[in-house]
Amino acid sequence: MPSLATLILLAATAAPLALAQLTSSKRGLCYVSSKTSSTDDKIWDESGSDLTWYYNYGTSPTSGYDGHLDFVPMLWGAPSSDTDMTFYNTVKGLIDGGMNISYVLAFNEPDGCTSGGSCVSADTAAQTWIREIEPLKKLGVKLGAPAVTGAPSGFTWLQNFFTACAGNCSADFLPLHWYGNFEGLASHVGQANATYANMTMWVTEYAYADADLSDSQEFYNQSSSFFDRIDYITHYSYFGAFRSDTSNVGVDTAMLTQKGELTDIGAWYLGMDATGEVPKGDAAQVAKFAGWVIVVAVAAFWTIA
């Protein structure tokens, strides 16, 4: 007969698997446009899915998305002019037009200067924030802090940003990015919670980059049940709403196969049963993004150190 301790351990390890099948209103779509978007887009916008929100790294909604999902505008980088008000004006225009804008995101990976980072200095970001983001608060919009990378440079950049703001950037929630294993993700969330106590968090990009299929699926299961049970994580969006042969974070993490069918992870994310479809790659595509993987390796290494 198993001891009580064993039973508790079994319950603790079994729980995430059972929970992984559940739907979650925290889930959203991190929309990535691609040459197959026109056929793939509707997969994420189906009314039956459990997704509730999306962002597309841009200021305006994705064409064809008609309101099943709440749109979260993002100011991706800093405009070149220090009087530019395009982001503020566009978001205000969406609200005035009757769109339900509850949140905005700001600065995609500003501490990253290669492979998708917006490469913005903390000072420029602070000035831009005070001019274009902070005033949105008066319109009832909740503000996401800059979405830094999961590398150590991310927290350093964020600290510099808040210093440069001198108390004038009142972020309501903290977006996080993570590419690595589950232990690294949990420790990253723990560090964010310790540094920014009482701030709710969104995990706006995450995946176990370049893991094999079974590790990717185990990571997916563990991380979704982790996010679902932590109250202060209110939103999450998996990085993988694209076909496996175009993935820059590994073939097996993708939510669509090279033919555009939902993979198991894709189906689970939408609250559906596994499809059994196995994603396949395209060597040329993966090699093209090799530079990006270095960022991942650094981030993953840091969690072990």
Q: Which residue has the tokens 């964020």?
A: 158
Q: Which residues pair with 104 in a beta bridge?
A: 143
Near ligand NAG by CB under 6 A: residue from 1, 5, 11, 197: 197
Alpha carbon dihedral 149, 150, 153, 158, in 10-degree steps, equals 70
Q: Does 200 bind ligand NAG (CB under 6 A)?
A: no
How many amino acids of this chain bind ligand NAG (CB under 6 A)? 21
Among 95, 130, 272, 278, binds ligand NAG (CB under 6 A): 130
State in angstroms the smallest separation of the CB of 87 from ligand NAG: 18
For the chain, give me the number of helices (H) and strands (E)?
A: 10, 9
- With respect to ligand NAG, which residue has the nearer C-beta, 57 or 196? 196
Residues 233/200, Cβ–Cβ less than 8 Å: yes
What's the min distance (Å) between Cβ of 69 and ligand NAG? 9
| Per CB under 6 A, 47 contacts ligand NAG | no
Q: Residue 84 gets which letter from DSSP?
A: -
Q: How many Å apart are CA 217 and CA 176, to the nearest integer? A: 20
**95 sits near ligand NAG (criterion: CB under 6 A):** no
Q: At residue 31, what are phi and psi to the nearest 5 degrees? A: -80, 125
Q: Minimal distance in Å, beta carbon 1 to ligand NAG?
A: 27
Query: Applying CB under 6 A, does 190 fall inside the site for ligand NAG?
Result: yes
As measured in angstroms, the least distance from the Cβ of 166 to ligand NAG is: 4
Strand segments (E) across 4-76: 28-30, 53-55, 70-71, 74-75
C-beta of 72: minimal distance to ligand NAG in Å?
8
Task: Give the SS3 label for residue 204.
Answer: strand
Interface with ligand NAG, residue 170, by CB under 6 A: no
53 forms part of the interface with ligand NAG (CB under 6 A): yes
